Amino acid sequence: MTGLVLGTAQLGHPYGLTNEVGRLSDAGVAELLGVAVASGIRTVDTAEAYGDAEDRLGALMPSEARVGYVTKVALPPVGESDVPDRIAASLARLRVSTLHGLLLHRVADLVDGRHPLLLTQLRAARDAGLVRRVGVSVYDADDLELVLEVFPDLDLLQFPGSVVDRRLLENSRIGTLAARGVECHVRSVFLQGLLLQDPAALAPRFAALGPALLRLDEHARERGVDRLALLLAAVRVDEVAGVVVGATGAGELQQIVRSWDARAEPVRGVDTVDPALLDPRAW
C-alpha cells in the first residue's frame, strides 16, 4: 500500500523554488513532526547533504514516534571519512540504531572507480543490520539502466514522478522491480511547489507548465476536489510504496494529509512537458 513519506530538505535549508518561509525554526520543525506522527506517517526521508536536517530530526522527533529513516550518502572525496563512518554519523545524528533505508545520492558515484568498494560497504551495512534496505536515487531512465547493471541487488529506489512527469512511473522496469520486492519511492510530486502555483504567477521559464495546470484545475472542479488531491492521486499507484512530500509548516502538511486521505481518482489527459523543465539540475 502506498504511504506518505515526509521529506526534510526544508529542515536544513530554505528548500523549494516557491518556499517563502525559509528554513524552519525549531518550533516549526517540532510542530511539523508532531503532525507527521499524528497523521500516521511512518517514513522520513533525509540526507547528510540537507544541512543539519538529521541533527534536528534526532533532537526534535516526538519521543513516541515509531518512524523509519531513509537517508542518503555520496561517495566522499578521496581522503575524507569513508562511507561506513558516514553511516555511523547519520545514525548518531538521528539517534537510532538502524536505518530503514540508505540511498546513494548521486548516480555518478556508480561510474567512479571506487564504486565496487562503495557497493561492498553498502551491502555490508545491510548484512550487519545497520540498514534494512539500500539503493539509489535516480533522475531518469538512463540512470535506472546504469543502476540495474551495476547494482542489481538494490532493494530501495527513489525517482521523480508527477502528474506531468510519467517517464519512470510508466517504465516497465519499475513494475518489475516492485514485483520482486524493491521498495520504490517517488519524489518531486509537487516539483518544488511549481505544480501548486497559480498558472498566471509562473515565472517565464516555467510558463510551459501553465496549460497543464489549467487543465488539472478543470478536472479538480469537475470532481469537487482540489489540485493537490489530483497531484497526489497521480503517483498513488501499486508499484509505488512511498510518496515523498515536503511541507514548509504544520498547516501545509495537514492539508497534504487531508488531500491524500480524500483518495481522489487519478486524472487522464494532463500532458507531460519538456523533460528539461522537470529537472531541477537544469534550473
Any bridge partners for residue 186, and if so which?
A: 159, 243
Q: What's the pLDDT band for 69 if we cut at 50, 70, 90?
A: very high
Find the radius of gyration of the CA atoms of the chain.
Answer: 18
pLDDT for position 119: 95
pLDDT for position 232: 97
Number of structural domains (the chain) is: 1
Q: Give me the CATH number covering residue 106.
A: 3.20.20.100
- pLDDT above 90 coverage of the chain, percent: 81
Task: Provide CB contacts within 8 A for 123, sequence distance 6+.
Answer: 134, 153
pLDDT > 80? residue 87: yes
- pLDDT tens-place string over residues 185-237: 999 999 999 999 999 999 998 999 999 999 999 999 999 999 999 999 999 99
The H-assigned helical ranges of the chain are: 9-12, 26-38, 53-60, 83-94, 115-127, 141-150, 172-179, 210-223, 227-233, 250-261, 275-278
Residue 239 sits in which domain range? 3-282
- pLDDT tens-place string over residues 107-137: 999 999 999 999 999 999 999 999 999 999 9
Matching residue, cell 500516521 = 40
Query: For the residues 22-27, what does the mean pLDDT come to?
Result: 86
pLDDT for position 18: 63
pLDDT > 80? residue 268: no
Task: Provide CB contacts within 8 A for 277, sequence distance 6+.
Answer: 206, 208, 209
Spatial contact of 225 and 259, defined as CB atoms under 8 Å apart? yes
pLDDT > 70? residue 72: yes
